[in-house]
């Protein structure tokens, strides 16, 4: 943890020096601010793991069933009810059936060599 934190702080210092140099940019400034956060995370994670070693969380029994509370997930969509009373839809489907029959007849004539 100490090596990681010191390393992160050293990288922050290096980025700060790079930002102050003639070739530095605001990207270097951003990195100089970001590396101390990484060092802080190393310290936080270390103490969190030490706390887990001293008092580990209680394990959950693997044979118990966990349920999702009602209302947490959205309801499944319902299937649309089909209505055949739409005259325009029936007419369109009949037209498509005619086209499919005509296409099948043309394909049959091409493969057998009959026709015009």
Give, as one character, the DSSP assignment of residue 80: P
In contact, 39 and 12? CB cutoff 8 Å:
yes
- The C-alpha atoms of residue 59 and residue 46 are separated, in whole angstroms, by 21
In contact, 18 and 45? CB cutoff 8 Å:
no
pTM above 0.85, yes or no: no
Would you write out the chain's pLDDT as a tens digit for each of its 116 residues? 999 999 999 999 999 999 998 888 999 999 999 999 999 999 999 999 998 888 887 887 778 777 888 888 888 888 877 766 788 888 999 999 999 999 998 888 888 766 55
- The C-alpha atoms of residue 96 and residue 84 are separated, in whole angstroms, by 16
- The C-alpha atoms of residue 103 and residue 106 are separated, in whole angstroms, by 5
- The C-alpha atoms of residue 80 and residue 74 are separated, in whole angstroms, by 18
């Amino acid at each position: 943890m100490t090596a990681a934190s010191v390393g992160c702080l050293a990288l922050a210092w290096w980025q700060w020096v790079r930002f102050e140099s003639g070739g530095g940019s605001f990207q270097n400034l951003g990195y100089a601010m970001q590396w101390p956060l990484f060092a802080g995370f190393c310290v936080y994670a270390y103490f969190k793991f030490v706390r887990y070693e001293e008092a580990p969380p209680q394990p959950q029994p693997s044979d118990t069933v966990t349920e999702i509370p009602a209302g947490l997930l959205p309801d499944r969509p319902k299937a649309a009810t089909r209505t055949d009373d739409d005259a325009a839809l029936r007419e369109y489907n009949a037209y498509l059936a005619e086209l499919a029959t005509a296409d099948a007849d043309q394909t049959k004539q091409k493969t057998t060599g009959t026709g015009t």
